[in-house]
A and B are shown apart, each in its own frame.
Chain A
Amino acid sequence: MVPIRSVPIEPGSLTYHDLPWIIEHREDRCTLCGQCTSVCPKECLHLTYRRQRLPNLEVLSSKRGSEYRTFVGIRQRTDMVHSCIGCGMCAMVCPNEAISPVPNTVENRTLFLNNQKGEAYKRGGRRNTTGASLLDRIMFDRISMLTDPALDAGRHEFTLSTTIGRILSPEEYLKRIQQGGWIPPTREVFPFVIGSMSFGALSPNMWLGLLQGVAYCNEVLGIPVVMCTGEGGCPPWVLKSPYLKYIILQIASGYFGWDEIIRAIPDMQCDPAAIEIKYGQGAKPGDGGLLMWYKVSKLISRLRGVPEGVDLPSPPVHQTLYSIEESVMKMIQTLSMAFDHKVPVYPKISASTSAKSVLNNLVRNPYAGGLLIDGIDGGTGAAYNVSMDATGHPVASNVRECYLDLAAQGMQNEVPIYAAGGVGKNGNVAQNGMALIMLGASAVHIGKYIMQASAGCLGNEQNRCNVCNVGICPKGITSQNPKLYRRLDPDKVAERVAETFMAIQTDVKKIMAPLGRSQSLPVGMSDAIGINDKDAADRLQIKYVC
C-alpha cells in the first residue's frame, strides 16, 4: 500500500463522478480552439497535458512493451469553486460538438460540501422539484357542446384584460358617484404580468430588453402588458419617461432606489401602473431580498444609494412594521397618498397559512388594491437553498382558499388576488396561469418563465446553472459584469418578449373559446377545471376527473 500521506486527497476532495455534472469530452472531435474554456462561467474546464499508453501488439515480433504519446486534453476541475453547473455553454459554443455536460445520475456529493468556509449554500433559481406540477395537471374540462357552441379563438373578439386595483361594491360605487367620493384607481392590464425582478438582479441589457418588449406589446400589439421593477428602484430616465405607465414600482424592506423614485415624482410624465409593497416572496418566505456583493456594481450602487461591492441583504420585515395593522395604516395609505391616490397599491406576500388573515385585513383597508400571493415554486436571484427548497406554501390552495373566503363574503375580486410562483415552470405558462385564474386569481405574475422564454435563461429544476446570485450568468441575464451582459442583445430580448406575449394571448383564447368564454376573464370559473387527483380536487373544491 502507498502511504496515505503521499496521495493528495483531503476530506473535501472530489472526483468528477462525485459532481452533479460530468463533462463529456470527445478527443477525436476537439480542435483545441479553446472556446469552451473561455466561455465557461465557472472556469471549470482546463487544458492539461495527458499521456496515453499505446501497447505494442506485434504478435510475431519479439518486441514487447508499450509506447506512449502526449496530448493536450480538456478536463473538468473537481473542486467546489470550479465544479460544473451544467449550463452547457461549452456545448453551445463548440464548433465541433466535442463537449457537453451530462447530469450525473449516480450521486451528487457536492451536497455535503456546498457549505465551504462556513457559508450555507446560496443560489438562484427555483425550488428543485421536477416532474409535472399540480398546475400542469389541471384540465379544462367543461367544453361547450351542442347548445352553447364553442367559440372561435381565431375570429371572435375576446376581452382578456384584468383589473389591478381595488374594486368597489356596485352599491358603494354609485354612492360615491352621487356624493362625489374617491373612486379607487384601477388599471386594465393583461393578466400575465412580468413579475418583480430588480434592476440589480437583472443586468441592464436584460432590463432594457424587457422594457422595450413591454412597450412594444402595449403600443404596437395592443396587449397591455405591465412589468414590476422588483426592489432595486428604477432608472431615472424610465421614471421620467412615458413608459412608466407600464411599470409597477416595488418597494421592499430595503427601500432601495426609493430616494430616486420620490425625487422623480414631480417630473413624472405619467403615473406608474401600480405600487407593489413586498412583504414576502415565495422563494424565500420570511426572508428579505438579497443582492450579493458580486453584483453591486458602480451602476447598481448609484441607483440604490449604497457603496459598491457589498452584500445587500434586505431585512425580513419592514422596519416600520410592528403589526399588519401598522402596515395597513402606514405603508399602503402613505404610498397611495404619495401618488395622489391615483395609483393602485397592493402588497405581495409569500403563500402561507396566514394569507387569509392578511387578506381579511386588506378587505377592511380602503386603500389596498389587491393581494399578490407568491407560492413556494417562485424563483429568485439569490436565496439560501434551504429557504428555496423547504420553506413556503404552494400557491394553488392558498389562492383558492382566499378566493372562496372572499366569495363567502360576496366580495370576490373586490380585493383582486394575484398569484405567482411556478407559473410556466415546465413551459405550460398559459395553461398554468389560466388554471390559477379559474381557481380565483385575477392575474398571475411570471418571472423565471419570462427569463427562460425571452432571454434563454438556462436554469432549471435539476439545479442546472442557478448561479444568478454570484453574477456569472453565462447568458448575461443576471450579471452586472459588462463582459457577460454584452452577450445579451436587448433588441432580441424585446423581440422574444413580444413573441412570448403574442403566443400567450393566443393560448389564452384557445383555452377560453372551448369553454364558451369571451366576454371576461374566467376568474373563479371553477366548474371548468378538473384534476385526476382526488385529494387535490377536494382541497381545491374542483372536480375529480379520471
Chain B
Amino acid sequence: MCRLALKTANDPFSPYEVLEAMEAMKEGYDGSGLGLLLRGMEFEDFKYNPRFPILSGIAESKKAWKRLDRFMEDRGYELKYDHKFHTDRSHMDGKDRYRYFLRAYRMPEEFQGKPMGDKDKEDELMETRLALRQDGEKHGGDLSVFSFWPDVAMIKEVGWPLQVGNLLSLHDGQIKSRVCMAQGRQNTNYGINLYACHPFFVQGISTMTNGENTAFVPIRDWLLGQPFKGYMGYQSDSEVFTHILHYTLKQLNLPLQAYKHIITPLSLKELDAHPQGDFLKGLRNVCKRLIIDGPNAVIGTLPDETCLLVMDQKKLRPATVGGRQGAWAIASEMCGVDAMIPDRDPSLDFQPMREHTVIIPPARKELEIWSQYDQFPLSLAA
C-alpha cells in the first residue's frame, strides 16, 4: 500500500515539508518510486510568470538534452527559465541521470493571445509533452517528460522520498509552491518505471492513489479507444483515475461532484431514493465502464488549485484531511497530516466515508464535504 501526502497553503512552502511527512509514514512504501507535483510555483532566482508553461522531466544524456532543446525551439517555444537543481549525486543510488529539468517556456506566437482554457492551447501543450515522451521512448527511454503546463512542476524518481529530496536539494528553498502532492510507491503488480510513479498528469489535472484498481484493464481498454490522445501510458493501474477525472471535467463538462458518481456510483436501490435518481441512474449506466474497483483513496488537484479526496466504494483504504484556514493537508495516515500541519485542531480532522468527496476550494478557507446522497449541483439533472 502506497503513502500519500498533499499540502495546500496560501503561502508557498518547500516540497521538502511534504517529503518529511512522507518520512513519517515510511512503513508504507518500498522506495520503488516517488512522485511530486507542485502547483502555484515560486522560484527563488526567477520571478515566474504563471502564464509560462513549465516542462518537467529527466534527460538521461547530453544527446537527449540537445534533442529536447532543438525540438522545443523548432516548435516555436522560447526558453524563459531553466531551473537548475543543486544535485547531490551521492544520493543517486547507482543511476546516472544527466539532468533533472524544470523549464519555463513562452508559448509559440499563435497561442500567446489565447487564455488558458482554450482548447487548442491546451491540446498543444499536451501534444508537445506526448511528442517529447514518444521521442524519449523511441531513443531507448533517454528522455522522460512528466508534465508541461503553466504553474505546474513534477519530479519523479525511483528511490526513498528523503533520498530524492536530498538528491535534488529540495530543502534549499529554491522552489516553493502553494500546492504540493507526493506519493511513495509500494510496487505491486506493475513494473518499476518512472512513468509508473504517481501523481499522474493530464492537461492540468492530477491525481495519486494508494491502492489497486482491479477494474483497470476494462477501463484502460475503453480509454484507449477514445479519440483523445492524452489517454495513454498506463504503466500503472492508477493512471486511469486521473484520466477519468479529466474525462468527467473536460470531456463531459460535468462538475467535480460527478467524479464520485462515475467511479463509484450509488446502487440502483439508493438511486431510487435520490432526488436526481433518474439522471444519475442514466449516468451510472452510460459510465458503467468507468466504475473502479478495489481499495483506493484518490487525492487530486485541479488547475485552479482545488484539491480533492475520494474513497473507493468499500473504503478499504484510509485517508485523513485536516488543517486550518489557509493551510490544509490530506494524507493516507494521520501522522502525515500531523507532520504537515502540526498547528491545527486535530479533533476537526475528517476521514471521508465511501459517499464523500472532500473538496478544498482554492480560497482554502474551509473544507467542503460533499456526499453522493446530496442534491447533485447540475441543472440538467433536475
Contact = CB atoms under 8 A, between A and B. Distances in A.
Contact of B225 (A156, A168, A408, A525): A408
B366 interface: no
B285 A147 contact: no
Contact of A526 (B217, B264, B291): B217
Given A177-B381, A520-B293, 19 more contacts: A144-B214, A146-B188, A147-B211, A147-B295, A148-B316, A151-B314, A170-B287, A174-B380, A406-B225, A412-B222, A413-B289, A516-B212, A516-B293, A516-B295, A517-B294, A523-B218, A525-B214, A525-B217, A526-B217
Contact of A519 (B186, B223, B283, B293): B293
A515 B213 CA distance: 11
A536 interface: no
Nearest to B287: A170
B217 A411 contact: no
Contacts of A148: 188, 211-212, 214, 294-295, 316
A524 B217 contact: yes
Nearest to B221: A407
Contact of A149 (B217, B288, B293, B295): B295
A144 B286 CA distance: 27
Interface residues of A, number: 46
Interface in A106-154: 142, 144, 146-149, 151
Contacts of A151: 314
B215 interface: yes
A152 to B, nearest CB: 10
Given A168-B286, A517-B214, A527-B216, A174 B252 contact: yes
A519 B215 contact: yes
14 contacts: A142-B214, A146-B188, A148-B188, A148-B212, A156-B314, A161-B268, A173-B283, A407-B221, A410-B222, A515-B214, A516-B212, A518-B293, A523-B218, A526-B217
Please report whether the interface of chain A is mostly helix, strand, loop or mixed according to DSSP.
loop
A518 B314 CA distance: 9
A416 to B, nearest CB: 10
Contacts of A406: 225
A10 interface: no
A462 interface: no
A163 B292 CA distance: 17
B347 interface: no
Contacts of B222: 407, 410, 412
A528 B293 CA distance: 14
A525 B215 contact: yes
Contact of B285 (A167, A177, A409): A167
Interface string B33-52: 00000000000000000000
A163 B288 contact: yes
A519 B217 contact: no
Interface residues of B, number: 43
Nearest to B223: A410
B279 interface: yes
A188 B271 CA distance: 14
Given A410-B225, A413-B289, A178 B380 contact: yes
Most B CB contacts (10 A, CB to CB) among A156, A167, A178, A520 go to: A520
B216 A413 contact: no
A493 B381 CA distance: 45
B313 A519 contact: yes
Contact of B380 (A177, A411, A516): A177
Given A159-B267, A410-B222, A520 B252 contact: no
B212 A144 contact: yes
B1 interface: yes
B282 A183 contact: yes
Contacts of B314: 151, 156, 518
A522 B215 CA distance: 7
Interface in A14-43: none
B279 A177 contact: yes
B140 interface: no
Contacts of A409: 225
A199 B221 CA distance: 41
Most A CB contacts (10 A, CB to CB) among B188, B211, B221, B254 go to: B221
A186 interface: yes
Contacts of B316: 148-149
Interface in B282-318: 282-283, 285-289, 291-295, 313-314, 316
Given A178-B380, A188-B268, A410-B225, A144 B285 contact: no
Contacts of B94: none
Ranked 8 nearest A-B pairs via Cβ: A410-B225, A148-B212, A516-B214, A524-B218, A527-B217, A173-B286, A520-B291, A410-B226
Contact of B288 (A146, A408, A413): A413
Given A149-B295, A188-B268, A520 B217 contact: no
A170 B267 contact: no
A88 B291 CA distance: 50
Contacts of B224: 407, 410
Interface string A159-176: 101010001111111100
Nearest to B217: A527
Interface string A501-525: 0000000000000011111101111
A270 to B, nearest CB: 17
A167 B268 contact: no
Contact of A520 (B254, B286, B288): B288
A163 B313 contact: no
A166 to B, nearest CB: 10
